[in-house]
A and B are shown apart, each in its own frame.
Chain A
């Protein structure tokens, strides 16, 4: 729950900017491979650094990120829409205040509290991830919907559209850019939080980092850290492309 405030403004795309990230990822990935090739790996290191194990951890990580992000969208977007309806609108300041205090709560704390109270495992880790990343999507949904010119909604109602149609055809499309920015923050938060899922036995690339620390094996540590960082950069890059493509025409 840390970088919500930082990257709400989506960046404009430039040819150079679009290619920087993949170039960086390829170079860093190649450097990691070269480093591992040059390193005489002992039996313990070979047990963690092999294609099956790394792919299994990567898959777990992607599952955690994918599922938690889908859940966040399924929960936070409808909630944001509900809260901006006229009848519930006065709750927004209270929700935002609670949400802002919630931002100061560390993800690892939520993860461990759930593990202590409910139990360890993937399902509990997913709940923690959702709790910690729902805020930016919820807030941006509300902000995006509230930022729409009232005149456009009145115009929609004036040409005979129902409230629901105005919401689906006018309000939501106009709010998409702001909502996507929130989604991007949530995704990045989830990639980061998922590295902590290893502490509650939910796997992921954090497993490699933690194994490297506990067993004092730098190659395992570096493999986990570099792969996690590259995954985060790649996902951020893909979402920035998606932001550009999904932005409604004419905005």
Chain B
């Protein structure tokens, strides 16, 4: 079967796996974004705390994904939970780093003006500093998403969901019909999903950036 015929016949299955893949990634990134932005707000302005937080989350990126999945299996079992947890751990660093950088790059004069208007610390953060840092924060979330889309392909190695199942399915059927088509569809599917999510973030960034910043 040619790849085009294969796609024509299997697109419902591939579509379901792609949606699973996107779900897994977006859940993980949403959790990581909440943690990353939260921790970023707490440590920003304290260089030592920032460095420690960035070092710890940055070190997570050094740990090979298959090993991290493996470390989480005894705790969380097989399937989606260890995969999502591992993706969260990887995705925190880009968000945290960009939150710290974004908040630190808000000009002091703007902050002073907000203080002069009588805004409380919390109001300054919510009304002035976060909106100004938002494009940078969102870039961090975007980097985290693209990165985790590729890592999530390995989730199928721990019985997890997603497009990785096609890749591992092709591996299991080497020599058989459609082994190549499966592997190709899984691999290209991941790349296409990454590019689609990338575009989604470009659009999101346009829509949510404060007018006057863009």
CB within 8 Å of B: which residues of A? 1-3, 5-7, 17, 20, 101, 103-110, 112-113, 115-117, 120, 188, 191-196, 199-200, 205-206, 209-210, 212-213, 218, 221-222, 224-226, 228-229, 232-233, 236
Asked if B61 contacts A7 (CB within 8 A), the reply is yes
B residues near A (Cβ < 8 Å) are 55, 58-59, 61-68, 70-71, 73-74, 78, 90, 93-94, 143, 146-147, 149-151, 153-154, 157-158, 164, 167-168, 170-171, 174, 179-180, 183-184, 186-187, 190-191, 194-195, 198
A199 adjacent to B171 (CB under 8 Å): yes
- Compute how far the CA of A109 lies from the CA of B181 in the bound complex, rounded to whole angstroms: 12
- The reply to whether B74 and A108 form a contact with Cβ atoms under 8 Å apart is no
A229 pairs with B68, CB closer than 8 A: yes
Interface centre among A209, A218, A222 (most CB of B within 10 A): A209
Asked whether, in the complex, the Cβ of A116 is within 8 Å of the Cβ of B195, the reply is no
Q: Measured between alpha carbons, how far is A2 from B190 in the docked complex, in Å?
A: 13
Given known contacts A209-B67, A210-B157, A104 and B62 CB-to-CB distance under 8 angstroms: no
A interface, over-half SS? helix
Given contact pairs A120-B174, A200-B171, A105 touches B150 in the complex (Cβ within 8 A):
yes
Cross-chain contact B143 with A5 (CB below 8 angstroms): yes
- Closest residue on chain A to residue B158 by CB atoms: A213
Task: Give every chain B residue within 8 A of A110 (Cβ-Cβ).
Answer: 187
Q: Which residue of B lies closest to A109 (CB)?
A: B187
**Of the residues B62, B146, B184, contact of A188 by C-beta under 8 Å:** B62
Contact A116 to B66, CB < 8 A, known contacts A196-B154, A226-B71, A229-B71: no
The 3 closest A-B pairs by CB, nearest first: A109-B187, A225-B70, A192-B64
**Interchain CB contact under 8 A, B73 and A109:** no
Q: Across the two chains, which residue of chain A brings its CB closest to B144?
A: A6
B residues in contact with A236, CB < 8 Å: 62
A226 to B154, CA, bound (A): 18
Among A115, A116, A196, A228, residue most surrounded by chain B Cβ atoms (within 10 Å): A116
Contact among A7, A109, A116 for B190, CB-based, below 8 A: A109
CA A199 – CA B180 in complex, angstroms?
16
Q: Measured between alpha carbons, how far is A74 from B170 in the docked complex, in Å?
A: 32
A106 contacts B150, C-beta separation under 8 Å: yes
